[in-house]
Amino acid sequence: MDQKNIRNFSIIAHIDHGKSTLADRILEMTDTVEKREMKDQILDSMDLERERGITIKLNAVQLVYHAKDGQDYLFHLIDTPGHVDFTYEVSRSLAACDGAVLVVDAAQGVQAQTLANVYLALDNDLEILPVLNKIDLPSAQPDVVKQEIEDLIGLDCSDAVEISAKSGLNVDQVLEEIVKRLPAPKGNRNKPLQALVFDSLYDPYRGVIAFVSIKNGTVKKGDRIRFMATGAEYEVTEVGVRTPKEVVEEQLNTGDVGWISAAIKNIEDVRVGDTITKADEPADQPLEGYKEMQPMVYAGLYPVDNARYEDLKDALAKLKLNDASLQFEPETSQALGFGFRCGFLGLLHMDVIEERLEREYNLNLIATSPSVIYKVYRTDGTVEDVDNPAALPPAQNIDHIEEPYVRAEIMVPKEYVGAIMDLCQKKRGEYIDMQVLDDVRMNLVYEMPLSEIIFDFFDKMKSSTKGYASFDYSFSRYKRSNLVKMDILLNGQVIDALSIIVHKDFAYNRGNAMTIKLKELIPKQQFEIPVQAAIGGKVIARTNIKALRKNVLAKCYGGDISRKKKLLEKQKEGKKRMKMVGSVEIPQEAFMAVLSMDDEG
């Protein structure tokens, strides 16, 4: 297809504003997917995405649109996630595009990630096409929201299409607008190849598959390619696109978004953000890559069965191909044995990675409670980064500790401003600023410790505003805080994987809450287990897990063997995610107790 008839675009939006639904309608209306294969949120291909109803991964698909001017246009549509944890995926997809369709829910208006995503699109010099969605809802106020987009973002909305992605109303106009208003790719097919790797995955049969946006030049089977960052060279075995099924093509040209397979067995050779060129006619310069994302949250991942350490290592390396923001390095824990310290962009990201490792690589894992990176200033003048509470030096060697703070922007209807201010205060937030957005909403700006944000801030914010608040945050700076390490002892023994770092003012409450929670979560065993929280050797809270009195089998009357077996199997099942630590068996939930405890009482 002629390059001027190509359109590469992303759909960007705040979570739940209807990106995936709009993508579904576009695929349907262009007959990209046959009716019988059509299912809701078709681009959310992972089971995990479908179950949770959220987009986690970006997804690229090629389709042909027959426009009203009689010409055919080739669209590459890249669906992107909306949750703040996955902004990295969004920025990668945007680098592969020339334009973006901005979907705004006409009932909810501009939200925090609407703005965050628009800024990312502007950073990538994309043309933005605003679209008002959900106009079928009785509460939709398209005119008010248009004004809001103009005021807050500065985009002209006079021609913005008003649609219902659900029913398909006016989606045809969006397709026409894409043709008219979004630009064609600018590259030159006669120049040396420059293909931006925006994603990759490991295929057990074909090796690493690189997803690319061809910015200049062409590539076909048999070409010798070079990854410019790593210098690795391979011979291309196949190229193609996704429709969303994988389709093999003769050649990928400038403006195409597709995949390259080259029997790449060495995972390290492929890096998302790298540029592929041809070995015999290389480009002078690589394309501008992506900013390395710094993980916000760290946690240990350990195989329940120690023998599967190597499998976990292998799985992490493969998963990293498909999720470049994941970081990991080996670590050991007295309690849990050999595992990995992993860095994530947020808790949802951590949850998703853990679940993908379990599902896609059949692993059984224990994750330790998440931590941010602390800067520890020792009395000897040295500074070290500590991302694992267990690794904190003894208190007498510490001069002071700094923790990461973020700038949080919270958009909230006026009647909830008080509730949000209360919440921010409780979470050690410091008020910075407040702006009036429109008649009904305010934007609150706080500086807050990241550690308070990552735990339950999001849920608490939603529940105290009936779901009406939205927020976005970015790292601001490190600040000195009065922090201490709290150890947890089970049966008199410190369990390193349960240690947490807390603010001194919260230590007693958290210590209490933590011991109570652990008592709830750790099943009774044959003997009584004291549970203690201690700071610097001084116990600040304690409780006991009483000894088990009855044997489960006692419940089975007579000799009903099948029932007995079932019960034992059930017990075994429940044990899967348990780890024997010393003489105590600890379930996965206990390691995450810090996330579920209520320490406000």
Ligand X SMILES: Nc1nc2c(ncn2[C@@H]2O[C@H](COP(=O)(O)OP(=O)(O)OP(=O)(O)O)[C@@H](O)[C@H]2O)c(=O)[nH]1
CB of 55 to ligand X, least distance (A): 3
Cα angle at 104 between 103 and 107, to 5 degrees? 145
How far apart CA 401 and CA 424 sit, in angstroms, is 22
The reply to whether 66 sits in an annotated binding site is no
CB 584 within 8 A of CB 532: no
The reply to whether 216 sits in an annotated binding site is no
CB of 170 to ligand X, least distance (A): 10
Report which residue's Cβ sits closest to ligand X.
Answer: 82
The reply to whether 39 sits in an annotated binding site is no
| Neighbouring C-alpha atoms within 13 Å toward the C-beta of 507 | 21
CB of 22 to ligand X, least distance (A): 7
Q: Residue 300, Cβ neighbours under 10 Å: how many?
A: 27
> Measured from the CB atom, is 18 or 109 closer to ligand X?
18
> Measured from the CB atom, is 166 or 191 closer to ligand X?
166
Structure tokens at 324: 């470049």
> Measured from the CB atom, is 55 or 216 closer to ligand X?
55
The reply to whether 560 sits in an annotated binding site is no
> Measured from the CB atom, is 136 or 177 closer to ligand X?
136
* Residues in touch with ligand X (CB under 6 A): 13, 15-21, 41, 54-55, 81-82, 133-134, 136-137, 164-166
How far apart CA 107 and CA 490 sit, in angstroms, is 51
Measured CA distances, 294 to 118, 326, 452, 527 (Å): 21, 9, 18, 44
CB of 176 to ligand X, least distance (A): 18
Burial class (CB in 10 A: 0-12, 13-18, 19+), 182: buried
CB of 532 to ligand X, least distance (A): 42
> Measured from the CB atom, is 168 or 530 closer to ligand X?
168
> Measured from the CB atom, is 32 or 164 closer to ligand X?
164
CB of 84 to ligand X, least distance (A): 11
The reply to whether 21 sits in an annotated binding site is yes
How far apart CA 289 and CA 317 sit, in angstroms, is 21
The reply to whether 576 sits in an annotated binding site is no
Cα angle at 440 between 438 and 445, to 5 degrees? 70
How far apart CA 506 and CA 533 sit, in angstroms, is 13
> Measured from the CB atom, is 164 or 368 closer to ligand X?
164
**How would you list the strands of the sheet with 127-133, edge to edge?**
59-66, 72-79, 6-13, 99-105, 127-133, 161-162
How far apart CA 84 and CA 121 sit, in angstroms, is 15
Which of 30, 23, 34 has the alpha carbon at shortest distance from 66?
A: 30
List, in order, residues 6 or more apart from 295 with CB less than 8 Å away.
Answer: 325, 327, 343, 344, 345
CB of 203 to ligand X, least distance (A): 25
491 DSSP assignment: T
How far apart CA 415 and CA 396 sit, in angstroms, is 47
Structure tokens at 46: 């992972």
CB of 59 to ligand X, least distance (A): 10
**263: region left, alpha or beta (phi > 0 left; psi from -120 to 50 alpha):** left
Cα angle at 83 between 451 and 35, to 5 degrees? 155
CB of 560 to ligand X, least distance (A): 47
Which of 479, 491, 537, 486 has the alpha carbon at shortest distance from 509?
A: 486
> Measured from the CB atom, is 54 or 529 closer to ligand X?
54
Helix axes 112-123, 142-153, angle to 10 degrees: 50
CB 69 within 8 A of CB 91: no
> Measured from the CB atom, is 165 or 212 closer to ligand X?
165
Q: Residue 565, Cβ neighbours under 10 Å: how many?
A: 11
> Measured from the CB atom, is 41 or 364 closer to ligand X?
41
The reply to whether 16 sits in an annotated binding site is yes
> Measured from the CB atom, is 17 or 271 closer to ligand X?
17
The reply to whether 256 sits in an annotated binding site is no
CB of 14 to ligand X, least distance (A): 7
The reply to whether 400 sits in an annotated binding site is no
The reply to whether 318 sits in an annotated binding site is no
CB of 248 to ligand X, least distance (A): 29
**From the annotation, which residues make up the binding site for GTP?**
16-21, 133-136
Q: Residue ranges for the binding site?
A: 16-21, 133-136
